Chain A
Amino acid sequence: MEDKTMSKFQLITKGLVKDNPTFVLLLGMCPTLATTTSAVNGLSMGLATLFVLVLSNMAISAIAPVVPDKVHIPVYIVVIATFVTILQLLMQAFTPGIYATLGLFIPLIVVNCIVLGRAEAFASKHSVGDSALDGLGVGLGFTLSLTVIGLVREILGSGSAFGWKFLPGDGMLAFVMAPGAFLVLGYLMVLFNKYLAKK
């Protein structure tokens, strides 16, 4: 019993550091770079992906036993695209501001390799409950990375954190724009590597 709860706990926490989708597995780079102009934007994108991950993982683990092997990829893609569109409609209805900011990158969750990757590597072989936890863990790891990158870019680029401005002036604008995304992610990855090497 002790052992089992531990493993459930690990399902959730492994995505945060050891199997962090952004810094270790290098998955889902496009939304990571494009939507992290501020901490709030990064957080919203992370949560949107989390939503799709958990639901598609659950649905796929439920239907996996009856899907013929040769068509499993198209079936998974259709399932994922369905949840993405549901999310898109819900966001349009209830959080139009965030939807306008994240724009194109909401429909593009469909081709985020994290989602299809988890479906293929985990959900198709495990129970619905475990798959949900796995989606939650990986989603949280993704959300955490995006929020951190967004926070760093926001602090350097506009002198604020989560919209709260604490530095006067405009900040270094390059960090809000495209080059800053690559630079911040590159240097954060260096720090992450250093941290992992020490451990």
Chain B
Amino acid sequence: MEILLIIVSAIFVNNIVLAQFLGICPYLGVSSKLSTASGMSAAVCFVITLATLVTYLLNKYLLLPFGLEFLQTIAFILVIAALVQMVEIVLKKVSPSLYQALGIFLPLITTNCAVLGVAINVVTKEFTFGLPSHMLGLGEAVLYAFATSLGYGLAMVLFAGLREHLALNDVPKSFRGVPIALITVGILAMAFMGFSGIA
């Protein structure tokens, strides 16, 4: 039951883009075509889950025991940057086809605040999911990160689909480009508000 709540809450109710405002820059940047949007989503999904796993362990077994919480931000961003580089190198060697698909998005991910945002949230915030509030365990944390990134993918793919249609329409001059995109996201966010109260 709790697993289901985590998933529903992370994907729909607290959607990372539409409710938490994380990862907006790439969201607006690469969502004009469905194919790039799904490629970016897959890359983000991969990195968020992996980064959360690593930073969670780093925080629990290195930073906390030595009282170094104040190095959290610095350590996390370095780990994420290194991780992204490593994923890039490994993918290139192991699976060139996957690298072809995700490769160009990987360097963009270091500065995607969704990754750092989820990593920090997981180790500093207490979550409720309808239960007494508690810090997440490792399993829950990774599941939460994975579900959150699925939510990112969902919002991204939905929006890319909308934008492909939008491109065919005659939009007033001052609205063209980002403004109309933002207004579209606003309406999408309104639709997602309908999910609140579920979990």
Contacts and interface: CB of A to CB of B under 8 A. Distances in A.
B24 A89 contact: no
Contact of A77 (B22, B78, B193): B78
Interface stretch (A58-66, A133-141, A154-162, A190-198): A190-198
Contacts of B183: 182-183, 186-187
B174 interface: yes
B28 A89 contact: no
Contact of B179 (A30, A177, A190): A190
Interface string A163-199: 0000000000010011111110111011101100100
Contacts of B185: 182, 186
Contact of A186 (B72, B116, B186): B186
Interface stretch (A10-18, A110-118, A121-129): A110-118
A7 interface: no
A105 B62 CA distance: 24
Interface string A70-103: 0001100110011011001100000000000000
A106 B43 CA distance: 25
A26 interface: yes
A81 B74 contact: yes
Question: Secondary structure at chain B's binding surface: helix, strand, loop or mixed?
Answer: helix
A179 B189 contact: yes
Contacts of B86: none
A177 B20 CA distance: 10
Contacts of A178: 18-19, 21, 189, 192-193
Interface string B110-135: 11110011001100000000000000
B23 interface: yes
A78 B78 contact: yes
B30 interface: no
A47 interface: no
B89 interface: no
Contacts of B112: 111
Contact of A89 (B70, B117, B120): B70
Given A186-B179, A186-B180, A110 B186 contact: no
Contact of A74 (B70, B81, B116, B190): B81
Nearest to A86: B70
A180 B74 CA distance: 33
A109 to B, nearest CB: 9
A29 B113 CA distance: 10
Given A110-B77, A174-B190, A181 B70 contact: no
B121 A104 contact: yes
Interface in B65-94: 70-74, 77-78, 81
A108 interface: yes
A33 B21 contact: yes
Interface in B158-199: 173-175, 178-183, 185-187, 189-190, 192-193
A85 B76 CA distance: 12
8 contacts: A33-B24, A88-B73, A108-B116, A112-B113, A178-B21, A179-B187, A183-B182, A183-B183
Given A34-B21, A81-B74, A189-B179, 9 more contacts: A26-B25, A31-B21, A34-B20, A85-B70, A85-B73, A85-B74, A108-B117, A183-B182, A197-B173
